[in-house]
Structures are given as structure tokens and as C-alpha cells.
Structure 1
Amino acid sequence: MPPLPTATPPTVALGPEAAVTPKPDAISASAWALLAVLSLIWGTSFILMKKGLVVFSALELGACRVSVAALLLLPFAVGEARRIQPGRVKWLALSGTVGTLIPAFLFAYAETRLASGLAGVLNALTAVFALLMGAWLFGQRLTGARVLGIALGLAGTVVLMLLGGSGEATGPRGAGNAWYGLYIVAATLGYGLSVNVIKHRLHGLRPVAVTSLLLAIIGGPALAFLLLGTGFVHKLATVPGAWAAFGYIALLATMSTAVATLLFNKLLQQSTTLFASSSTYLIPIVALGWGALDGEAFNLWHGLGMVVILAGVWVIHRAK
């Protein structure tokens, strides 16, 4: 799963943009190592969701994921709350809702019927929708090359959903369920809006402030719903394998938010934004690899759809 965005100006990739962008020849071996670790963390998010859904429902998984992440970063939120301007709270709430809370549920719903590897591929659409939302709501310029990138990304999505199937031949994620990919399309649309809200309305705030505060805002309702509106606690106490499933969800929340966000910001200090955004291309490969190890199918149409989507993302990144 992509990281929670930060308040520094983001690219249309899955992560935030740094203020410091060294020359390409300044990229160090440690930066390459960070890129590999980050791609592994985010690419693994999708198989972790799949494992959590073995016991818990999509609603339970989404609420638990947000709750754990919010509790983990609560100490930072307490420290940052004293420095936040009141007028920015509404933008934090908007970004947290459309970029974290709702996608947590949408991805979980999608993976009840869609293979985790394909979910990782569709996640690359974040780049497409970040550009579209920036142009629609914030006046970002759309060049011919950027329009081409958007078209390629959407075309690859159509190929995956119409011709590729769900990624598994049998079981709950069998053929005929590929339309559950629309949940991920909706989630990446939310990511696209969120990164633009942060770029244009929350600029100047430290990444840890944005991440911890928006999680604090949405974490309370998520935790209340988890404990009072679902059977999460009962399952945890009575269902065999529930603690293992909870462990997968807790690992998902911890690694894909707190740890990955810190590592990504460190990477941005050591490299260029273009280099850091290369994770966009590596995440689907990792996600598909985990899916293959878990017995998920991968056919020619899946490969074609992935190539077309990533080609669109590449065009968007390179476009002036």
C-alpha cells in the first residue's frame, strides 16, 4: 500500500516529494538500498491484507489497520497538535478521510475477490489520478504527454479488468470478480485528491506532523467502530487463527505507515524525486511476486495490462 503522503510537494507517484533534490550522480548505495526496502514493504502490503482477510471482514481489517497506525503515531500527534493552525485541521481531516480511511476499506473490499498481485498493479493508478485531480481542482497544467500518460494508465486498467480476470481461477477470487478492481480505482482516486490537498493546503508542515495528525483525527472514529460496531474483539478471543491474522494487519499498519514514511523521507534527502518515485514501478513486481508464491494466477493479459499502466506512469513522470 502506498505511504501516507507528507506535506512537502508530492510528485504524482506514490510518495511525497522532498525539498532537497540532489543531482542524479549524487545517488548513493544507501539510497539504492532504501529504494529496495521501501518497494519490498509497500509491495508486501497487498499479501498482508489478503492474510488478514482470512479471519476478519473487510470492515474489520480497514478499521483495525487505521486504528493501529493511529495509536502507533499518537505520541507524535500530541506533540505536533500544539503547533498546528486551526484553519488547517479541516484539510487534515479531508486528506485523512479520502487518502487513508476510505482507501483502507476499499482495498480490503477489493481483495475479498481480487488477487493481491493485481491489487498491487492497480495501485499504480495513484500517479494518474494525482495528476488528474491536480489539473481539475488546483490548476495543474496538462500537457499532451501527460494526457497520453493518463490515457495509457486507464487503458491498462481496462485491459486488466475486462480481459485479465481476477487473478485466481477458483475460489472466492475466481474468474468473474475482476470488477472488484473498481474499488482500487476509487481508492487511488482518493489518494490523488489527498496528495493535492497536502501539496496546496498543508504545505510547510513537517511530514511527521501531517501523518500523525491526520491519523489522530480519523483514528478515533475507526477505533470506536472497530470495538463497538464489529465482531473484531469476539473473533480475536474465539476464532482459531485470529491472532495470526491480527498480526498481519498490525504489521501492515506499522510498516506501511510509520516505518515506510520515515524511510521514504530519508530516501528523498539522499536522492532525486524521480529516483525515489521509482518505487511506483517496483511495487507491482513485488506484489505480483508474493501473489505467485501464494498460488495466484498471472496470465498474458495481466502482463500486458501491467506494462501499459506502468508505461503511462513513466510518461507522466517524464512529461514536462
Structure 2
Amino acid sequence: MNSSKKKWFYLIVLSVIWGTSYILIKKGLKGFTPYQLGSVRIVLAGFFLFLIGFKSLKTISRQEWKWVALSGFVGSFLPMYLFAFAETEIDSSVTSVLNSLVPLFTLFVGLIFFRIKFTRNQLLGVVVGLFGAILLIVLGKELNPDQNYWYTLCIVAATIGYACNANIIKSKLQQVSPMGIAVGNFACIIVPALMFLPFSGFFKADVVSGEFFWSSLGYIVILCVLGTCIAKVMFNKLIQISSAVFSVSVTYLIPIVGIFWGVLDNETFTFEQALASLLILFGVYLVNKKKKSA
């Protein structure tokens, strides 16, 4: 499979995996608090990654460790807690839509801090896709007026973290293997997560004996293996064989999958939201259509 086909394959697979992550977070929150869910997710994902890729840490040089650590905190540690907090108030489908802010922030973070050029088509595609995402959000708010939309700020902060992470990997970690980046990320963030775990009340008897403890833990395990371990390695590889902007275009497809799972879980989805979703897909096309650089 050539690089062009491979990057599209990764994009589609990642959209399915990460689009499913939001419903898994929602189910996990039935038995855990956001602090507990985020900490357990990091610890389990770190454990799985160490088992399968510990030797890949050798691909990281001493000078690159600072970027690996920064990548881990902005691209994994903070978003895992922020999305958990957001879904205590906002539907999983709306959360997946808000994640579409990532390409917009990726463009400007890359331009301002890393001097990465982008094309007019990429900028137009981000704007079109973002407009579709905003339309979906507005429609979702009208359908769910009882939800606290201040929690969307958690998702905005997480998307900025994802954008910074994509640019860090593309600009500073091109020589590190995708597995090495993933394992290195969690080697840096697993210690603070382990420190948070006892303070979160995870080991209290009422949590372990709770009605949803084991089912929620099962959802988190699936989330860790697919949504964190496998997907993170694939995403790192996608960034290296494409561009930072193309790689985060996965966030345009994630809402489609997220809304699908939300509907199955009795969340409301209208015809108008379907049209807005098509607008997002058109944004993906524009982002990846070749044109002269701005």
C-alpha cells in the first residue's frame, strides 16, 4: 500500500476508533468520576503500551525527551481529564462534534510557533468544516437546553492541546518511531496519574462495590486498548507520512461516528444535523485538495 492510500486508511480507521471513544467515556462515567476515569485510563494505557513497546524507547534521544514529555502532557494527559469532565454535562455526540476545532487550532499553532505553511484550500476547508461543526453544536443546544454548555470550554482546551501535539510530532519528533512516541508519552504521564488515583477515591469500598464499577471498567479497558494504545500509534504514524493538518482532519469524520453511537444510545439527531455533517465532510475535501500555497 503506497503512502497516499495508507494515510487515507489510517484516517478512516482512526475516525471509527475515536468516534467510538466518546460513547465509551459516557459509559465509563456511570461508575467513575472524571478524575478516576482519566487516571485509570492513563495507567491502563501506559501498562499496555509498556508491554508491547518498551524497547521502542531506545529510539528517543536525550534531546528529544523534552518534546516527548510535552507531547504526552498536551496530547494525552490533559485531554483525557478534560473530555471526561465535559461529558458529565454534554452529550457524547456533541462532544465529538466539538473536537472538530482541532484542525483550526493546528493551522494557527503551526503557523505561529512552528512556521509551518498551509494552503488557501486548507484554510478554507477548516473554516467550512468548522462552520458545519458550529451548526451541529447550535442545533444540539436547542435540542438539549438543560445541558451546561460552559463545559464546552474543557473541549476547547483539549483541542488546543491536540493541535500543539500534532505540530510537536511533525516538527520535532520525525526521527522517533510512532511506537516510541506513544510509549514515551505515557512513560512521562503515568506517574502523575498514579498520584491522582488514590486522591480521586478510586480505592474506596463504595466505588469498587458500586453497581456500575465492573461494566464501566470494561468500557475503559476497551477505550484504552483501541482508543489510546492502538490509535495513538496509528496517529503518530499518520502525522509522519502526511501533514499535521491532514492528520487532524480525522476530527471532521469523528462526529459522524460519534453521532451514530449517540443515536443508538437514545441521543437526539435531526435531519438538519445530518446536513451539517455533510458540510463537515466537504471541509475535509477542501483541506486535502491541492492548490498553490498562500
- 2:85 is the counterpart of 1:128: no
State how far apart, in whole Å, the 2-side matches of 1:63 and 1:154 are: 31
Compared CA separation, residues 127 and 276, structure 1 to 2 (3 A):
closer
Note if contact 1:55-1:242 (Cα within 8 Å) is conserved in structure 2: yes
State how far apart, in whole Å, the 2-side matches of 1:223 and 1:167 are: 40
Residue 98 of structure 1: how far off its partner (Å): 0.7
Compared CA separation, residues 167 and 253, structure 1 to 2 (3 A):
farther
- Tell me the SS of whatever aligns to 1:232: coil
Compared CA separation, residues 262 and 179, structure 1 to 2 (3 A):
same
Residue 194 of structure 1: how far off its partner (Å): 0.3
- 2:207 is the counterpart of 1:232: no
- Tell me the SS of whatever aligns to 1:87: coil
RMSD: 3.2
The equivalent of 1:6 in structure 2 is: none
Residue 317 of structure 1: how far off its partner (Å): 2.3
Residue 217 of structure 1: how far off its partner (Å): 0.5
The equivalent of 2:226 in structure 1 is: 255
The equivalent of 2:269 in structure 1 is: 298
The equivalent of 2:134 in structure 1 is: 158
Residue 36 of structure 1: how far off its partner (Å): 5.9
State how far apart, in whole Å, the 1-side matches of 2:14 and 2:118 are: 30
Residue 186 of structure 1: how far off its partner (Å): 1.9
The equivalent of 1:84 in structure 2 is: 60
Q: Structure 1 stretches of 5 or more lacking a match?
A: 1-17
Compared CA separation, residues 108 and 284, structure 1 to 2 (3 A):
same
State how far apart, in whole Å, the 2-side matches of 1:78 and 1:98 are: 22
Compared CA separation, residues 319 and 57, structure 1 to 2 (3 A):
farther
Q: Which amino acid aligns with 1:216?
A: A
Note if contact 1:130-1:195 (Cα within 8 Å) is conserved in structure 2: yes
Note if contact 2:96-2:255 (Cα within 8 Å) is conserved in structure 1: yes
Note if contact 2:102-2:163 (Cα within 8 Å) is conserved in structure 1: yes
The equivalent of 1:15 in structure 2 is: none
Residue 293 of structure 1: how far off its partner (Å): 0.7
State how far apart, in whole Å, the 2-side matches of 1:144 and 1:275 are: 14
State how far apart, in whole Å, the 2-side matches of 1:77 and 1:305 are: 40
Note if contact 2:246-2:288 (Cα within 8 Å) is conserved in structure 1: no
Residue 222 of structure 1: how far off its partner (Å): 0.7
Matched ranges for 1:268-307 at <5 A: 279-307=250-278
Matched ranges for 1:42-57 at <5 A: 42-57=18-33
The equivalent of 2:188 in structure 1 is: 217
Matched ranges for 1:95-244 at <5 A: 95-161=71-137, 163-166=138-141, 169=144, 175-226=146-197, 228-234=198-204, 235-244=206-215
Q: Structure 2 stretches of 5 or more lacking a match?
A: none
The equivalent of 1:21 in structure 2 is: 3
Normalising by structure 1, we get a TM-score of 0.78
